[in-house]
Amino acid sequence: MTTYRALDFEFVLQVDDPALRDYVETVFDALVVDERATEVLEVIRITATEDGSASRYDVRHGDAELGTGVTAPAAVDAIVQRANSRCVDSSGWLSTHASCVSRDGHAILFAAHSESGKSTLAAGLVRAGFAYVTDEAVAFDWDAGCIQPYPKPISLDPGSWPLFPELDPRATYTDDAPFSQWHVPAAHVGPGRVSAPCRARWLVFPKYEAGADTAIAPITRGEALVEWSKNTFRFNEHGRRALELLGGLVTDVDCYRMTVGDLDDAVARVEELVGA
Amino acid sequence: MSELTRADAPVRRSDVYSVEVDGEAVLLQETDDELHRLNVTAALVWSLLDGVTTLEAIARDISEELELPFARVVDDTVHIANQLRAQHLVQVP
C-alpha cells in the first residue's frame, strides 16, 4: 500500500474508482515515501457517494468528512486542503505561508497571503529548471532552521491556467466536472526535481498586479522580518520562539519586494537574483 | 498619562521580546501579539532603556559616541521614549 508523507502527516489513499485512483496517485506522486515513519495508519478514502449519483464521491479521513457528494476535482481539492492543514498545524515545524524553490541547496522563498501569485511563480520557476520545495508552506526545523520540502502538487487558480496550457489535467483525466484549481505534480511542470532539504537564501514578498511592470527592490531585514512573521502560520502561538528562529534566519537572507506583472519577466528577475 | 521627560528612566517591558537585525529591532508585544519595527535610532534608544539610566544620560552617551549635537539627540531620545511608551513597550519603574 502506497504511503504518502506531507511533513509529519503520513497517510494512505483508498480510492474505489480506478480512473480516479490513477489520477489521484499521479497528483500526489511526489509525496510517496518508501517507508512509514509512524505506526499510526491514517487513511483517506474516496468512495462513490452512497446515493449512487454518477461521478460523485464521499471523502473521509478517519471519522472526519472532508467532502460529501463532491465531484472528482473537489475530492482532490479536499485531500490537498487536508494535507495543507495538517502540515501547518504540525508543532514539529515552523511553517511560513510561502512558495519556495531552490537551486544548489539555496532556497528562494516567496512569502505572501493567498492569491498573491506565489504558486504561479513557483510553477514558472520549476518550469525554468529550479527544484521544487512547496507552493504553500515552507517548513523550518526548530533546531537549525533547515527547510524540509513539502512537495505537494502545485495548485493553480484559473487565472494562471492560460500560462500553463500544457498542464491541463483534463488532458489525462476526463471528467466533465469543473475544476476550481489544477493540482499539478512538479514533475509534470518542468525538469526541476523535488528539492532536497535546503536553507533560506533569498526572501521575496511578491504581489501580482495585472498590467504592472515587473520589478524587484531590496528591503531591510527588519522590514522583512516583520512581514515574514506575519506570513508565518501560528506565529502568535509560538511567540518569541518563532521570532527568535526567524530573526536568526533573516540575517543570512537577502530580502526583496517584487511586483509581478508578467510571469516570464518575474522568472527572469529571479534568475538574475540567483545568478548575481 | 504625562509625557516622559529627560529626567525619567523608563524600562523595557518584560512582556516585550526583541530581536536586533542590522541595527534595526523587531519587537513582539506578547500580551497582544503586536509586532513593531524600530529604525536604527529607535533601536539604539530601546536597547539602552534599563529603568536606571535617565533619558538625558542616554542621550549624552549617544551624543558622545556618535558625535552628534546633544540638544538634538536628547529631543529625539525623549520623543522616541514617548512613542515607545504610547505603544506600551516601555514603562516607568
Q: Which of A223, A236, A239 sits opposite B37 (nearest CB)?
A: A223
Who among A222, A239, A251 is closest to B28 (CB)? A239
Average pLDDT of adjacent 10-residue blocks, chain A of 276 residues? 92 93 94 82 90 85 94 95 95 96 96 92 96 97 96 96 94 82 93 92 96 96 97 95 97 97 97 88
What phi, psi does A17 have (nearest 5°)?
Answer: -70, 115
In 3D, which of A11, A18, A122 has the Cα closest to residue A72?
A: A18
Contact call for B24 and A222, based on CB within 8 A:
yes
Residue of B nearest to A250 (CA): B21
With a CB cutoff of 8 Å and minimum separation 6, the contacts of A110 are: A98, A99, A100, A118, A121, A122, A204, A205, A206, A258
Contacts of A252 by beta carbon, 8 Å cutoff, 6+ apart: A199, A200, A201
Mean pLDDT of chain B: 96
Of B26, B38, B39, which has the smallest distance from its Cβ to A247's Cβ? B26
ipTM, two decimals: 0.92
DSSP code of residue A35:
S
Chain B: residue whose CA lies nearest to A244: B19
- pLDDT the model gives residue A39: 75
Q: Are A247 and B30 a contacting pair at CB < 8 A?
A: no
CB-CB neighbors (< 8 A) of A236 in chain B: 33
Please enumerate residues of B whose Cβ is less than 8 A from a Cβ of A.
17, 19-22, 24-26, 28, 30, 33, 35, 37-39
Across residues B9-26, what is the average pLDDT?
Answer: 97
Chain B contact set for A235 (CB, 8 A):
33
Architecture of domain A93-151+194-276: Alpha-Beta Complex (3.90)
Q: Which long-range contacts (CB under 8 A, 24 or more apart) does A245-250 make?
A: A245/A94, A245/A140, A245/A142, A245/A145, A246/A94, A247/B19, A247/B20, A247/B21, A247/B26, A248/A145, A249/A140, A249/A145, A249/A200, A250/A203, A250/A221, A250/A224, A250/A225, A250/B21
- Angle (nearest 5°) at CA A25 between A23 and A27: 70
**Average pLDDT of span B18-35:** 95
Instruction: For cell 502506497, name the residue.
Output: A2
Is B22 within 8 Å of A221 when comparing Cβ atoms?
yes
B46 neighbourhood in chain A, CB within 8 Å = none
In one-letter notation, the amino acid at residue A87 is C
Q: Min CA distance, B22 vs chain A (Å)?
A: 7
Q: What share of chain A is helix, strand, coil (3-state, %, to 5)?
A: 35, 35, 35
Angstrom distances, CA of residue A169 to CA of A102, A155, A177: 25, 12, 12
Average pLDDT over residues B33-44: 96
Between CA B29 and CA A75 the distance in angstroms is 41
Q: Can you name the residues that pair with A58 across neighbouring β-strands?
A: A47
Quote the pTM value: 0.93
Q: Does the distance separating the beta carbons of B26 and A226 come in below 8 Å?
A: yes
CATH numbers and ranges of domains, chain B: 12-87 (1.10.10.1150)
The residue ranges of every structural domain in chain A are 93-151+194-276
Whole-number pLDDT of residue A272: 96
* Distances B46 to A12, A32, B38, B71, B80 between C-alpha atoms, Å: 52, 50, 9, 19, 8
**Contact by Cβ (8 Å): A38, A7:** no
